[in-house]
Amino acid sequence: MIGRLNHVALAVPDLDAAAAMYRDVLGAEVSAPQALPAHGVTVVFVQLPNTKIELLQPLGDASPIAPFLARNPSGGMHHVCYEVDDILAARDRLKAQGARVLGDGEPRIGAHDKPVLFLHPKDFAGTLIEIEQV
């Protein structure tokens, strides 16, 4: 059902420092920061030949990644995103298998203007999973 790895998202306390590390130490292609107030994050995209890394820094008071950074003050892997062809079919299959879909179960428009859903990490080896319809 799942297809390509779309991105791995890292929550970071200092976006400029993390972007500079990926650009200068690791030699990657790094975008300018983009504020996404509707998602409560500022994001930098690291473009790799086969996938993307997203660096996420909290934006605003109710950022969805603030609790993660409170538990992981130096940052860490926040979620992985897999591509699916049909997000409603994927959701229904996952629910039928007993997986928990976060929120109200309806896809939201994610940071890439595509429909996304998040799956409970306790059902997936401790990893928050995002599925994105491409």
What is the contact surface with Co ion in residues (CB under 5 A)?
A: 9, 81, 130
Minimal distance, residue 128 CB to Co ion, in Å: 9
Q: How far apart are CA 99 and CA 27, in angstroms?
A: 38
Q: How far apart are CA 46 and CA 54, in angstroms?
A: 6
- 85 phi/psi in degrees, rounded to 5: -80, -35
Minimal distance, residue 129 CB to Co ion, in Å: 10
List CB contacts of 35: < 8 A, sequence separation 6 or more. Answer: 42, 59
In the bound state with Co ion, the residue whose beta carbon lies nearer, of 44 and 81, is 81
- 21 phi/psi in degrees, rounded to 5: -65, -45
Minimal distance, residue 54 CB to Co ion, in Å: 6
In the bound state with Co ion, the residue whose beta carbon lies nearer, of 5 and 88, is 5
**What is each CA distance from 55 to 12, 65, 90, 105, 107, in whole angstroms?**
7, 11, 26, 25, 22
In the bound state with Co ion, the residue whose beta carbon lies nearer, of 24 and 117, is 117
Minimal distance, residue 71 CB to Co ion, in Å: 18
User: Which residue is catalytic, options 29, 83, 106, 130?
Assistant: 130
In the bound state with Co ion, the residue whose beta carbon lies nearer, of 24 and 37, is 37
Q: Is residue 130 flagged as an active site residue? A: yes
Q: How far is CA 19 from the centre of its chain?
A: 16
Q: Catalytic positions, please? A: 130
